[in-house]
Every structure is written in structure tokens, then in C-alpha cells.
Amino acid sequence: MVSTGRSLASSRAARAGTRNSAKRKGLLLWDFPQLGSILYVIVCIALLSNAAEASGALDISIQLPVLDLSIDFSFQDWFNPLQLQRRADTNTTTELFSDDVVQPSISETDVHHYYFTTPGSSNDNETVYNVSITLSTCTQPLPTNSSVNLTEVYASPGPPPLYLWVSNTTSNTLPGPPSTRTDKQVWNTTYWGFTNFTMINVTAGTSVYIGVSAPNLMSTVFANWSGDWSYQLGVSTTSPLHAVQAGVNTFVQDTDSVAALISSNNLTADTTNENRPPFGIFLNPSDDDFVLTSLANSYCAIAEFVNPTLKSINDADVMVTTNTPGQVPQEFFYVKSLTSSTFYNAYLTLANDGRVGGTVYQMQNLTTKTANTTCRIIYNLSFCDSVAYAVPGNDESYDTIANWYDAQAEALYQNFTHSLAQYPCNITDSAKYSLSDNVTCDNCAAAYKTWLCSTLIPRCQSTDPFSMYPSRNASTSRNPSLVGWLPDNAQYYEVLPCKDLCYAVVQMCPVDLGFTCPTGTGLKEWYGDDYEDSDRTNITCNAPWVTYKVNGADALWPRGGEETVMWVIGLVCIHLAFVWI
């Protein structure tokens, strides 16, 4: 008997049983081979033309006219029949229901079979559904020899993947290996722990047949692995139960020696702390992160991963704030109890609302500062609300340090507003100090506040490996109040404020205020250039909401650049041509 798993979302799976026949309705590309060939040529041309211009992460869910096929780049799997040797020796198949997820274990060479029937009567030819099928690997075999180089073992060919098979014809109610079968089915491997199919325009009362298979660990390719897999398989007629969100959705604001400040992308305008999304944040040291990196697209692998070094939402202060660019809500995670001088991989997830499963976002990297650093993260200040980075600090509490800086800035700003109030701001256009619509007293005050907070509150680094930042202590700091407050032996490297912040005040404010920016040597000494270094791994100057490098556009592409991408996509097209035509 094949293990059928258990339902996570509903007790309806208890009605699962054996099904030997089903009505077939709905269309796939194999119903019209010539049409399928034309459509695939169009898709392949589009993929190839876009690959060279790709600057964002790969969306592995590519919408085809009938089938949503997640492309797997482990193309060596397609031509290795040793991995796909045995089919199930039973006709047992388990019924699935919409928005249900099953999570069984599976052993090598086993095949699990399932079927799903769309709601409604088979006589209803008008009602159609999009059937989303998602497969996520939760756990996988481990290397057989703990003394081997895990970096090399996990790199190539990597952990053995699971395979997803789909059919909608009664002539093949038990889809599965080998891939050379001539009956109607499509298949794909999990890519970093995830794959999916979506069948569109499936009419009511139509059955879809699904297989999940495990490869042969006795093959030469996977000889270094042993153990079983567990997986989540979900089916839905509303939206996929598992998803991978490509692109940048996680931003590292800054770190200190024991904490990291991470933010989400923009949220909807009505998001508050009371209705914030159920995000999860997970940080694991990179040198102990072989399992998660190999399953980085799997929601259940990340959300259920157990490791003593793993930090999660339980180790974080979480808040939604509109103190962001454009005052759009974002969720902030202040993750604590980290280890100094450590490279971490950060994973952001979002649980489904009322359903099992969720979304995985692109992995992000960060490095904590050295143990002896004086740099301390502060954020969510009352006045300098755009400050969210590490600053020179002492041994006092977070609130004490944040309030100390904030109070200084607010007091200086009040003095400035008294001077600005001497100018007639609310008068006719012809009498204003500038004829530009953008140059107003309000914009002058905003520009001064931004400049003040960025200069009075220095951005702090614990090291300077590229000789980019000036070394500071209390006596050489731009903030004279640090003398006597910062320990005498405290040293730090300052990320200089961007020079454009100074120029903005000059441009926005009345010239009679006497605000000027330094030039020549003085400018270089106290301000930074407004650009990032070539690989965007370092910040060259400080301004509101400047964040560290996000994972590059090639993060979800194979190493080697766009030429490799186009070569692999070409192989995908060849593979599809042999499968479908």
C-alpha cells in the first residue's frame, strides 16, 4: 500500500477512497497537438527574449494558455531514467478537496496517487474552474556521511527532488513514472522544494489525477543521500495554497552586534498593528543553513524547520509603521539575540488567511556587526521618524539612546522654525521668496528636518574593509554632544550623510537664513557621494531609508548570467516539445 497522508485542513479527507473511473472534461494541450506546438513556440520565444533583459527574480509560475508550468532548472534530472524506475503497485488513490492540504511521508521510488473533482454536475458545461496544484517539500533525505563537505554535497547535483505528475484523462488515472510513458500526463521536479501546475477552464464535475513520486537513492546521482521525504500537496479552485513571490520584498535596514532591523515591502493603506499580515521571519546562520537554502521555495520547510540556531518571529519585536517613504505602511521586524560577526540568511513568509499553506519571499542576506562595536540600532523615533539604523551608543537601554538623540534634534528644529517663521509664507505668489511652486516654507522645513536628523544622528559602522568611511570617536564626531556621553575608548566608522540632503535645504529655504553647504575638502570630509558602489553591497552615504543590498536579480537564476538562462530555457522548450508533440 502507498502511504496516503493525512489532511491538514479538513476532516473531509476521511471520505477518500478508491476511484477506478471518472468522467473527463476540460481541455489540455494534448487535445490539440498542433495548437499546443504553436503556443509553446510563442511562450519559448517570449521567455528567450525576456531572459536577456531580466533584472528581477524569476517568477517560477509561468502562465500558459492551459497549464501553469513551474520550470525546473535542474535539467540533469530530465535525462536520468535511474531516478524514475518504479511505479506504484497499487490502484489506491486518495481524494482531495479544494483548499485542503495533505502532508504525508514518502520513501524512495514510491508513488502517491490522488484525484480531485471540480464542484458541480458533469452536465454543467458553463461553469469552469482554474485548478491550482502545489507541491512543497517539507523535509528531505540527508547526506549519508556527516563528515563530508556539506557545501559540495548540497551544491551539485544537490538533494534529490520530488516529482509532480498530472493527468486529466480517464485513460491515465494513476499518473507517474517513468517519464517515457506514452499516456497523457505532464510532470515536473520540485525546484528548491516547490513546483506547481494550474489547469484552467476545467468544467464542473471533471476529475484531475495527480501523482507524487520520489527518486531512486540507489542511483549514482543520489548515492550520498538516505532517508524519506515529507511534503505538502494542496489543491484549490480559488488560489494556490503555496506560492513563491519573486522580486524584492524584504529590506535590511541595518544591524548591530546582536540584532537586525528588517522591513517588509509596502502594505495596503489600511494596514495597522491590529490587522497586520501574518508574516513570519526566520534567520539562520549561513554556515549552518544547508537544508533551508536547498528548500528556499518551500513554505512548510521554512515554517516547520527546527534548528537551535534559527531565530524566528518569537525572537523579534514586530510593528507596522507609516514612518516610511511616502508614509505607506510597512511591517518592521527587530530580530534580537543574534550572534556578532555572523552572516545570516533571512526568510520572510506569509501564512494564508484561514487556509493551510502560505507564500515564501525571496531570501535576503545580512551580517551582524563585530562584538566590540559601539553601534546600536534605533528606530521608530518620535521626531526623527525616518531614522532606522545603527548609531554610536553606550551601555544604556535602547529607549534611553533613542530618546537622547531624538530630543536633541527636536530642540534644534524648534529653533530653526522660529527663524523660518520670520518669513511671510502664506502670501501671494508674487511676494514669496521663490517663484517656484515646489519651493515653499513647508518644503523648506521638511528638507531641514531630513538634513538635521541625518547629520546630527550619525550612521555607524563597526568595520571599514573598503576604506569608504571615516573613523570617528566622541571628540571627532559631527555631534559634539557625544563628548562625555560616548565612552572615551569608543570608536566607530561613520557613513557620511548624502550631500544632496544639504543641497536640498539650500534650494528650498530662503537665502537670508544663511544656510550653506561646504565645498571642496570640507564637502568630502563631512558628506558622502549619492551613489552606491558597483555591486551595491555597501552604502556610500546616509539618507532616510537607505537600505543594504537586496539579493541581486540573479538570485533565482542559475549561476552564469543571462546566457545560461537562455540555454536552460531552450532545453525546457525542447523537453516540452517532446512531451507534448
In order along its 581 residues, the chain shows pLDDT tens digits of 333 333 333 433 333 343 333 333 443 433 334 444 444 444 444 444 444 333 333 233 333 223 333 333 222 232 233 334 344 445 689 999 999 999 999 999 999 999 999 999 988 989 999 999 999 999 999 888 767 778 777 877 788 999 999 998 898 999 998 877 767 888 899 999 999 999 999 999 999 999 999 999 888 778 888 999 999 999 999 999 999 998 778 889 999 999 999 999 888 888 888 888 999 999 999 988 888 889 999 999 998 887 878 899 999 999 998 888 778 899 999 999 999 999 999 999 999 988 999 999 999 999 999 998 999 999 999 999 999 999 999 989 999 999 999 999 999 999 999 999 888 776 655 555 555 667 788 999 999 999 999 999 999 999 988 888 999 999 999 999 999 999 988 999 999 999 999 999 999 998 888 899 999 999 999 998 865 544 545 678 898 877 765 443 222 222 223 332 333 333 334 334 434 43
Q: What is the DSSP string of 100-116?
A: EEE--EE-TT-EEEEEE
Q: What are phi and psi of 474, to 5 degrees?
A: -60, -40
Give the Cα separation of 523 and 177 in Å (integer): 68
Q: Is the dihedral of CA 322, 326, 330, 335 positive or negative?
A: negative
| Strand ranges for 150-271 from DSSP E | 163-167, 186-189, 194-203, 207-213, 225-226, 229-236, 242-245, 250-255, 260-264
Where exactly are the structural domains of the chain?
11-52+60-240+562-580, 250-367, 375-526
Neighbours of 350 (CB within 10 A): 18
Reading the block at residue 441, the C-alpha cell is: 516654507
Q: The pTM is what?
A: 0.76
28 and 167 Cβ atoms separated by less than 8 Å: no
441-456 and 499-508 helices, crossing angle to 10°: 150
Compute the distance between CA of residue 122 and CA of residue 206 in angstroms, rounded to an integer. Answer: 7
Q: What is the dihedral of CA 92, 98, 104, 109, to 10 degrees?
A: 50
Q: Domain 250-367 belongs to what architecture?
A: Sandwich (2.60)
Strands, E, within 246-363: which ranges? 250-255, 260-264, 279-285, 316-321, 330-335, 343-351, 358-361
CATH 3.40.630.30 is held by the domain 11-52+60-240+562-580: no
